[in-house]
Amino acid sequence: MDLSIICTYRCISKCRMCNIWQNPSNPKDELSLETLAKLPKGLGHVNIQGGEPTLRADLMEIIDTVYPKARVTEISSNGLLPDRLVPIIKKYPRVKVRVSLEGDEKTNNRIRGESDGFKTKVEGLKKLKAAGGKDLGFAIVVQDENASQLASVYEAAKSIGADFSASALHNGWQFHKADNCLRDQATAAREIEKTITAFIRSNSIKSWFRAYMILGLRKQIMGHDPSEKCTAGTGFAFIDPWANVFACNVRADLLMGNLRKQSWEDILSSSAVRRCRTQVVQCEKKCWKVVNARVAMRSALIPRFPKFGTIRWVVTNKIRAAIGLDVLFDH
């Protein structure tokens, strides 16, 4: 199972699409190392996020606790305090770091309420690379204000040897906000198509499969059914700062248990989990975020490899690109 661990709701960004910064958690109440130690070994992809995880004074100890338990450990950060990540990357160079970047300098700083965010993020990622980081990148939330800048953020990432990922503007219980809405879906879809094409035409195998992930984003924006079934509560889950375990971060009613009060084994065998999994099967939301897309694309037999359908789409479109044909966006 993959996990997203929301270790704090404290944040120093003031994003337009998220009001977490107005509703911070109390450090005394946040997930403890003792609680995190209850997680089992053999986890898949574990993402330490917030709020802003670098505001946790014990972030290094959190990574010390989680890293041996996970196949991949990631930190999702606003990138404003890169010096706090440098010691972690020096100790664990394979920890994945994704820094939020919402467009060019003016656009990013306006959307995220950051006075000098763009420069800090770009220079910070360079610092992490110099520290030995092996898997670094920028992450963008596609919205009306920055859809036209998808390609430029991708190029900015490429220019410093960094990765790139994207998700679509959405609502979630942890945002304390329910009016996020992408109005010009057609423009966003066209820009995503350009990014998919750039990924397919690149020489990076990782980018080819990222193209398929972004394809699902296009479907979500256009209101189409996702390519893969959601595995919330089975393939992935979220843990909030108070140790509540949720099947996903969109529906607050999918509460599975509390890691502070229960063991991980007791949570997974509970009637609450069975109820949540039934509700997920019946869910009519058409989500396609990195967390559920990653699990949905993964082979059940060999988790390090994608499903056959994903491979087939990538190979087909790589061949089409090689002979000068357009990428097939309908799948």
Average pLDDT in the chain: 91
What's the rounded Cα separation, in Å, for the pair 78 and 118? 10
- Taking only the tens place, the pLDDT of each residue in 169-194 is 888 878 888 888 888 989 898 989 99
Q: What is the mean pLDDT of residues 141-150?
A: 91
Place of tokens 């998808």: 150
Cα angle 76, 77, 79 (rounded to 5 degrees) comes to 145
pLDDT of residue 18: 92
- By the 10 Å C-beta count (0-12 exposed, 13-18 middle, 19+ buried), 177 is classed as middle
Q: Of residues 289 and 9, which shows the higher confidence score?
A: 9
Among 40-54, 80-94, 266-280, 281-295, name the one with the lowest average pLDDT.
Answer: 281-295
pLDDT, residue 227, reads 67
Task: Check pLDDT > 90 for residue 238.
Answer: yes
pLDDT at residue 277 is higher than 70:
yes
pLDDT exceeds 70 at position 331 = no
pLDDT above 90: residue 8: yes
Enter the pTM of the model. Answer: 0.91
pLDDT at position 303 is: 67
With a cut of 70, say whether residue 220 has pLDDT above it. yes
What is the C-alpha separation between 4 and 45, in angstroms, rounded?
8
Q: What percent of the chain has pLDDT over 90?
A: 62
Encoded tokens for 275: 């109820």
